Structure 1
Amino acid sequence: MRAHIWRSAHRASPATRPNHNARFLATDSRSRLSKFWAPTGGISAQDGEQDDSHALLLKGGFLRQAHSGVFHLLPLGLRVQNKLESLIDKHMSSIGASKVSLSHISTEELWKQTGRYSSNSELLRINDRRESGFLLAPTHEEEITALVANMVHSYKDLPLRLYQTGRKYRDEKRPRQGLLRAKEFMMKDLYTFDSSHEIAIKTYEEVRQAYTNLFDELKIPYLVADADSGNMGGKLSHEYHFVSPKGEDNVWSCNSCSYVANEELVEKSAPPTNLDAIAAPEEPSQPLVFTGITMDRKTAIRIVIARPSDMSVETQPSWDSISSFVNLHAVKRVYRDLDTGIEAATLSKLLPPIQSHKTLYSPSLVHLQKTTSHTDTSNTSTTEEADISLTRSGDACPRCSTGALAVQKAIEVGHTFHLGTRYSDPLSALVAVPHATQKEAIHMGCHGIGVSRLIGAIASLLADSAGLNWPRAVAPFEAIVVTTPKVADDDGVGVYDELRGIDTVLDDREGKSLGWKLRDADLIGYPVVVVLGKAWKEGKVEVQCRRLGVKKVVERGEVRQEVERLLGQL
């Protein structure tokens, strides 16, 4: 549509005569690719990481890499991110959460108060001219708790649910897989505050339901796994995963019941062992023995497990390879202070002076306690028993009597934590409660969704050989109208206008053939493509949906109904 400029000023009255130094334009509100920056093509897979979906995001003009692990979002990428944020806003609103925007900069002092400063190697630290201790926040538990502690003083001010969608930072040693593992990333984090444990658990379940509703709307299969809280604190948490060979997490599930757990919490059912029936080995040296150390460097921990049948007695693997033989997560359940990240060379220097020892046996080797006790010369020695063997596919499910476990690689895209008073205690977030003489700590929850990671994960899951394939809920545009150079602009605009109410873009770029435009539409991954091609001579339109395998010619008057029908399935 042409812009209209005031040209009749000489006929207007003085009171209404326009300022001749200004131009008043009636702009075209339609979305046109001729007016939209979408720098597609020109980027080969070799220019990005060796990851097909990430290369497609680059080639499709969604983002560009600024530095290692740092990306700029271009207009198409920003539209996807904005769609995700709107989806999140809708479901956070459903549970009465208020949106805030917290500073990206946090202080070392708060992190020291909660005990997370010294143990976190991924913090990006910064100093101002006064050498004050600041950091770029990887998460905001400390800041939001301090904020609430200063403003909320009574149980009457609770419950409180605050969330934000903003940038987070972590000092990744090796950023990889594009948006899936970056130094700077977008994240939604919801923080909940309640006056009691019982109310906080109810809130936790409400948040879980909101997450279920949100991920259901994406119409992409996902798993919800029991999870370990790690250094976040608390004992109740769940992870939300997309199953993908590109995932870095191992998620175990039962083929007979609803049991799903990540590798930190997975358990297996084993038949009871009759230790009396097990013959003692000829030599106590036959089992594998790994010796680690506690975080405070004061106690050595021996881990004793059966030697694989195909390994010679003379072979003793180093500490660096322990995870290939031992379930370290099971070990950490017994000895939470075991340093599983220490290198073998450092360990060998720290162990010799230590006199305090603890020993953990696999159940089938408990009889070795008597055999080896006479060789223990330490001043302090204790023993424990636990199933620390690796979980294998086919192991019996711990929840049902008929199921077997199987493992899948998965991408974590969300996580819910019940924190309890992990942060409110050290940061003095206290409220007055009925029938109590002193204020009590607020009970908290923290619930995250990786927004930029979701973009990368969805791209990875749904991409095919032709390009990206976005679900309707987050597609940069729900539909595109593509015309041949022979079709008049007014005709393309007419079909576009019939789709009003559907988030549609018109590909009116000059100098591009219909074939080029269709390949570009496939690359970008619009859910529905409306084509004004050969059939347009008869007043008909071709409607395509690559994800559903649909390519259909319809009358012009039916195009809206057909587009809505296809979008309803996406």
Structure 2
Amino acid sequence: MLYSNGLRRSFGALRSYSLYASTSTRRGLHYDGRNRLSNFWTPTQAKNKSHSGDEDGHDLLMRAGFLRQAHSGIFHLLPLGLRVQDKIERLIDKHMLKLGASKVSLSSLSSEELWQRSGRLEGRGSEFFRLQDRKEAKYLLSPTHEEEITTIVANAVHSYKDLPLRLYQVSRKYRDEARPRQGLLRGREFIMKDLYTFDLTEEQARQTYEAVRKAYSAFLDELTLPYLVASADSGNMGGKLSHEYHFASGKGEDIVIGCDTCDYSINEELYIGGHVEGTKRSVDAQVYQAVSKDRKELLQVLFPPGTELNLYAVKALFPALDSSVEDAVGTWLDAAKAHGSHGTRILLADPRVAGRLSEHDSLSNVPIASADQLLLIQFRTEVLESKLDGRQVSLTKAQHGEACPACSSGHLSLQKAVEIGHTFHLGTRYSEPLDLTVLDANNKQITVFMGCHGIGVSRIIGAVASLLADKKGLNWPMAVAPFGAMVVSTSGVPPEDVHAIYDELSTAGVDVAIDDRERPMGWKLNDADVVGYPFIVILGKGWAGRRMVELQCRKLGIKEDVGVKELPGKIAEYTARL
């Protein structure tokens, strides 16, 4: 039904009066359908005077009543924190729906037997929370669900006609971190969205992967925060194609390397140095020594002084490297003696180190062991070139300002970052060991291609809090703020006037609440700053005489008087700038 402006105002006033008239109270609680802080538990705390220095995002999440710590790396979400989490989850749901994904909820308990079948259990026992039932069946608290979802699909999907399939969940995950730190950024229990995709062919799986990447970018765009996308190492997840999604942050544990000219962006873990031709050579060198996994080869790496060795690049050239052995020389000598006093010495030098690798030049003087020890074994020396795919590369970590390996004109910049998402193209990493196959159009049994794609929901809460906090408190983006606007009034303002402001904003789609707690105005405003609502609407001195409210947005530095009817438009205008 359509109403004229006058009738709509009258209808709005009548609705406001009816809600107010029907309000019931009990022990200070109000029930009229409006969001009220008198009904909403917000256990904010005063700043600890003994706290030295500025508070970080995690300190403010605790003080503002978003969460409480239960144990090391384990946190309880309180009502404010849960509202932020729910909004992030609704945004995720929106973009997963556009991908055609169905939402599931998988058990937190996973069978160890499935992890043994996939090959991911061995060597990682310390990462898991493990338990067994009264019948001694072994389980673990899932850090991720590839094994379980693959098994479910393998038992339910048998024809190519059932593909593609996209399933996702938002659930609790568990990882027994050795050193939980930075609050929600690295905990032992965390909330995560994981999407699992199933396709008939490698080509279709790659197309799905690109569709997911676009969905991730669209999701992050809605948070209105700058983010980085970098090529990444797939690690124990499997597959060779993956990308990480980061917020740039000084508190980050990752380093993202980017070019100032082209779109080159990569995690430092995956970086292999580029253009070295024509660079200045060094007479001196640092030496790194390591042994091969079979202990038969000793690797000696020479690289320029004042630089840091890039082990990823070294392993790309020498995949047999075992970097975990501390006494590489002693281990190599012992193995050589045990195998008939024979060993192999591998020489590898960064192109910027002067000299030609051979047994007869200065590199032969690099210390391996004492002369007496070397007399006890026979060894031969081999030279390994520092080339990948025919291109000469450096063996050191990236440095700010050095040449980009992807283009001829760009220079590299390094940024610390917090990873908040990861996409993996898995291929048949899980479908093969867990027997996920379907019949194709030719009635032939083929293995399904998979992908998995995560977003750290609780990590986003911690990362956003750290990124946007200032000396006064938190600063939430409008899309995930616990409330987008908080209405605060002096004691002399009639409740129906406060309700009229609330209803005007709510009708315009603003997630608004009323601070109707019996506290002084100054206390309420300070509390609103600590919690970090994007907008504060104040009914104070300007209301009684001019019917104007004061609109505040701390992030934009705005304090201005606004009429009631202009208020929704002003908030929309400033929201676009946040």
If the TM-score is normalised by the length of the shorter chain, which range does it land in?
A: 0.7 to 0.9
Say if 2:127 and 2:177, in contact at 8 Å, map to a contact too.
Answer: yes
Cα distance in 2 for residues equivalent to 1:381 and 1:152:
55
- 1:304 counterpart residue number: 301
Structure 1 75/278 Cα, relative in aligned 2: closer, same or farther at 3 Å?
Answer: closer
- 1:30 counterpart residue number: 34
User: 2:270 is paired with a residue of what secondary structure?
Assistant: coil
Cα distance in 1 for residues equivalent to 2:378 and 2:22:
89
- Residue 170 (structure 1) shift: 0.7
- 1:142 counterpart residue number: 147
- Residue 192 (structure 1) shift: 0.5
Task: Write the deviation string for residues 285-325 of structure 1: whole angstroms up to 9, x where unpaired.
Answer: x644333345x55444413113527xxxxxxxxxxxxxx73
- 2:173 counterpart residue number: 168
For residues 236-315 of structure 1, the aligned pairs below 5 Å read 236-272=241-277, 287-294=285-292, 298-306=295-303, 308=305
Aligned identity (percent) is: 51
- 1:549 counterpart residue number: 557
User: 1:369 is paired with a residue of what secondary structure?
Assistant: coil
- Residue 493 (structure 1) shift: 1.6
- 1:513 counterpart residue number: 520
Which residue type is aligned with residue 356 of structure 2? H
Give RMSD over aligned pairs: 2.7
User: 1:168 is paired with a residue of what secondary structure?
Assistant: strand
- Residue 80 (structure 1) shift: 0.1
- 2:17 counterpart residue number: none
Which residue type is aligned with residue 328 of structure 1? L
For residues 143-542 of structure 1, the aligned pairs below 5 Å read 143-272=148-277, 287-294=285-292, 298-306=295-303, 308=305, 325-340=308-323, 342=324, 344=326, 350-355=331-336, 357=344, 359=346, 361-364=348-351, 367-371=356-360, 377=377, 383-386=383-386, 387-435=394-442, 437=444, 439-500=445-506, 501-510=509-518, 512-538=519-545, 539-542=547-550
Say if 2:488 and 2:536, in contact at 8 Å, map to a contact too.
Answer: yes
Say if 1:48 and 1:58, in contact at 8 Å, map to a contact too.
Answer: no
- Residue 334 (structure 1) shift: 2.7
- Residue 338 (structure 1) shift: 3.3
Task: Write the deviation string for residues 426-484 of structure 1: whole angstroms up to 9, x where unpaired.
Answer: 111111123474x2211111111000000011111111111111111101011110111
Structure 2 unaligned segments of length 5 or more: list them.
Answer: 1-19, 337-342, 369-373, 387-393
Say if 2:303 and 2:309, in contact at 8 Å, map to a contact too.
Answer: no
User: 2:114 is paired with a residue of what secondary structure?
Assistant: helix
- Residue 244 (structure 1) shift: 0.7
Which residue type is aligned with residue 542 of structure 1? E
- Residue 534 (structure 1) shift: 1.3
Cα distance in 1 for residues equivalent to 2:442 and 2:381:
47
Task: Write the deviation string for residues 367-417 of structure 1: whole angstroms up to 9, x where unpaired.
Answer: 233336799856787542223122211211112211111101001111111
Cα distance in 2 for residues equivalent to 1:231 and 1:46:
43
- Residue 270 (structure 1) shift: 1.9
Structure 1 264/65 Cα, relative in aligned 2: closer, same or farther at 3 Å?
Answer: same
- 2:13 counterpart residue number: none
User: 2:334 is paired with a residue of what secondary structure?
Assistant: coil
Which residue type is aligned with residue 560 of structure 2? K
Task: Write the deviation string for residues 139-183 of structure 1: whole angstroms up to 9, x where unpaired.
Answer: 111111111111111211110001110011111111111100100
Tell me which moved more, 380-389 or 44-53.
Answer: 44-53
Normalized against structure 2, the TM-score is what? 0.85
Cα distance in 1 for residues equivalent to 2:532 and 2:305:
49
Structure 1 182/506 Cα, relative in aligned 2: closer, same or farther at 3 Å?
Answer: same
- Residue 75 (structure 1) shift: 0.1
Cα distance in 2 for residues equivalent to 1:156 and 1:106:
29
- 1:84 counterpart residue number: 88
Cα distance in 2 for residues equivalent to 1:46 and 1:334:
53
Which residue type is aligned with residue 528 of structure 1? F
Cα distance in 1 for residues equivalent to 2:322 and 2:189:
28
Which residue type is aligned with residue 561 of structure 1? G
Structure 1 157/397 Cα, relative in aligned 2: closer, same or farther at 3 Å?
Answer: same
Structure 1 83/409 Cα, relative in aligned 2: closer, same or farther at 3 Å?
Answer: same
Say if 2:273 and 2:395, in contact at 8 Å, map to a contact too.
Answer: no
For residue 101 of structure 1, the aligned residue among 79, 98, 105 is 105
Tell me which moved more, 105-114 or 367-376.
Answer: 367-376
- Residue 564 (structure 1) shift: 2.6
Which residue type is aligned with residue 246 of structure 1? K
Say if 1:291 and 1:300, in contact at 8 Å, map to a contact too.
Answer: no
- Residue 519 (structure 1) shift: 0.8
- Residue 517 (structure 1) shift: 0.7
Tell me which moved more, 537-546 or 42-51.
Answer: 42-51
Which residue type is aligned with residue 362 of structure 1? A
Structure 1 306/349 Cα, relative in aligned 2: closer, same or farther at 3 Å?
Answer: closer
- 2:16 counterpart residue number: none
Say if 1:430 and 1:441, in contact at 8 Å, map to a contact too.
Answer: yes
Say if 1:305 and 1:389, in contact at 8 Å, map to a contact too.
Answer: no
Cα distance in 2 for residues equivalent to 1:481 and 1:3:
21
Say if 1:470 and 1:527, in contact at 8 Å, map to a contact too.
Answer: yes
What is the count of residue pairs matched by the alignment?
A: 525
Structure 1 68/357 Cα, relative in aligned 2: closer, same or farther at 3 Å?
Answer: farther
Cα distance in 2 for residues equivalent to 1:191 and 1:335:
34
Say if 1:44 and 1:59, in contact at 8 Å, map to a contact too.
Answer: no
- Residue 26 (structure 1) shift: 11
- 1:320 counterpart residue number: none
Cα distance in 2 for residues equivalent to 1:389 and 1:228:
18
Cα distance in 1 for residues equivalent to 2:64 and 2:441:
58
Which residue type is aligned with residue 215 of structure 1? L
- Residue 336 (structure 1) shift: 3.8
Normalized against structure 1, the TM-score is what? 0.86
User: 1:553 is paired with a residue of what secondary structure?
Assistant: strand
Which residue type is aligned with residue 361 of structure 1? L
- 2:339 counterpart residue number: none
- Residue 45 (structure 1) shift: 8.4
Task: Write the deviation string for residues 226-264 of structure 1: whole angstroms up to 9, x where unpaired.
Answer: 111111111111111111101000111111111111102
Task: Write the deviation string for residues 46-70 of structure 1: whole angstroms up to 9, x where unpaired.
Answer: 7899961100000110000000000
